[in-house]
Amino acid sequence: MEAAGLRFTGPAIASYEPTPDDRVHVQACAPFAGSPDGSGLSRLHLPPVAQAATLVHRGTMTTIAESYQALAHWIDDNGYRAEPGQAREVYLHTEGDETGWITELQILITPIGER
């Protein structure tokens, strides 16, 4: 992005969405100032979500599965259903040693009984 003359204006985001062929479409996103024209990059607007369960993971990516598991338990224990494959990770702090990284996990949810 820097080579394209674009300046980051916030944390990077990974968005995960299921595809009809049972794969996962991953989008790497970053808010920026400037125009991506001619850079090979495209502008994407992440849609707002009605409800999400969130958890802040502190530490390395090698332990992030434990945080996802804790979030999944919270969803189940509190009367919600996770929307299959609908998740985002917001990388709040990724500077320096990975043990100090901070990542917000977001899973889109629906109350059980609603669709």
- Structural domain boundaries in the chain: 52-115
Predicted pLDDT at 115: 59
CA distances from 31 to 8, 10, 21, 46, 73 (A): 6, 6, 29, 10, 31
CA atoms within 13 A on the CB side of 22: 0
Confidence of residue 69 (pLDDT cuts 50, 70, 90): very high
Predicted pLDDT at 1: 67
Give the whole-angstrom CA distance, residue 67 versus residue 55: 7
For residues 71-101, one letter each, b for 16 or more C-beta atoms within 10 angstroms of the residue's C-beta and e for the rest, the string is: beeebeeeebebbeebbbbbeeeeeeeeeeb
Instruction: Please give the model's pTM, rounded to 2 decimal places.
Output: 0.84
CA distances from 8 to 35, 55, 61, 72 (A): 12, 24, 22, 31
Tell me the average pLDDT of the chain.
Answer: 88
Per mean pLDDT, which range of 18-27, 57-66, 94-103 is the poorest? Answer: 18-27
- Identify the bridge partners of residue 32 per DSSP, sorted by sequence position: 8
